[in-house]
Amino acid sequence: MKYNIFTFKNNMLYCWRLGPMNAQKQIHYSKDVVTPAGRGTHKPPIARGIWAFPYPHYDLFFCWHQWKRHLPKKYQNPETLEDCDIQEKLLKEIRKKFKPSTFYASGFYSHIFPNKHVDYDDWHYWESVRDWANVAKGELISHWRDSNIVCIISYGKDHLEIFVPNYAIKG
């Protein structure tokens, strides 16, 4: 059943991810890892689980490494415009082969907290995925009035990233 901008079934959130569906031990769980965006550390909240996004939202920045590892080494970090063009052609073929997997999650960790703040360095465990959705939908768009003009800003999807423990993954 679709609930506003997220999809649910039996109080579970419909999710997707690119990569293996087994709940892997997160090797960087006990280490401080600097995020590629330079926003401090980014560690999973627990040692075993999978990273995902609620369907249909996705930030391709988070799955780039899943596609990049299938490129020939020469095109993983292209140095010329010609190499960039070749890389893009190769990526189109790779994306056809490696598509996201979908599943339902009955509970998960999120950077979105009940008091409606987002903290990229901390996690909150949500037992009620519907409660999470009510808060998260407010984090997808912002609007305000400037004189007689209504201004609308659509946010990125990176804060919708969730970490699903192995016990909360349902086919």
- Kindly state the percentage of the chain with pLDDT values over 90: 23
| Model pLDDT for residues 123-151, shown as the tens digit of each residue | 899 999 999 998 988 777 665 566 666 66
- 8-49 pLDDT, tens digit each: 999 999 999 887 777 777 765 545 555 444 444 567 888 888
Q: If you ran DSSP here, which 8-state letter would residue 156 be given? A: P
Under 8 Å between Cβ of 126 and 110: yes
Tell whether omega for the bond before 56 is within 30 degrees of 0, i.e. cis.
yes
147 vs 18, 143, 144, 151, CA distance in Å? 44, 13, 10, 10
Question: Which residue in 42, 46, 28 sits closest to 107, CA to CA?
Answer: 46
